[in-house]
A = this chain, B = another copy of it.
C-alpha cells in the first residue's frame, strides 16, 4: 500500500495547527487585521466590531497580548487611555491576514454570503 506521496508524516509538528491555535478565537484575526492599519484604542476596536462584548474583547486582547502578538500601552490619564498595537510578531502575520482578505474578496465577495438554502 505504500503511497510515497502521502508519507510526509503521520503526525508532523503541524506548524499549521500550531499557528491556528494562536488565532483560534473568532475575533482575533479580525482584531489583528484592523490593527494592521495602526494603533487603536479599546473602544475604537469595539466600535469596529459590532457584536463583540467588552468581556470578549478584553479576553481576546489579553490572549493576543499573552501570545506576544500585540502590545498594550496604558496611559495613566483620568479618562483611561489604552492603546493597542501589533508587535513585531503580530505584524509578521500580515501575509496570512492579507491572504485571507484576498481570498475572501475573490471568492465570496460576489454577492455577499448569507445563503440559507436549507
Q: Which residues does chain B contribute within 8 Å of A37, judged by CB atoms?
A: 5-6, 8
Query: A16 with B33: in contact, given A24-B26, A95-B103, A107-B92 (CB under 8 Å)?
Result: yes
Do the beta carbons of B16 and A30 come within 8 Å of each other? yes
* Copies of chain A in the complex: 2
A77 at the interface (CB under 8 A from B): no
- A13-B113, A40-B6 are contacts. A99–B95 as well, Cβ < 8 Å? yes
CB-defined contacts of A109 to chain B, threshold 8 Å: 13, 15
Residues of A within 8 A of B (CB): 3, 5-6, 8-20, 24, 26, 29-30, 33, 37-38, 40, 44, 47-48, 50, 89, 92-93, 95-97, 99-109, 112-118
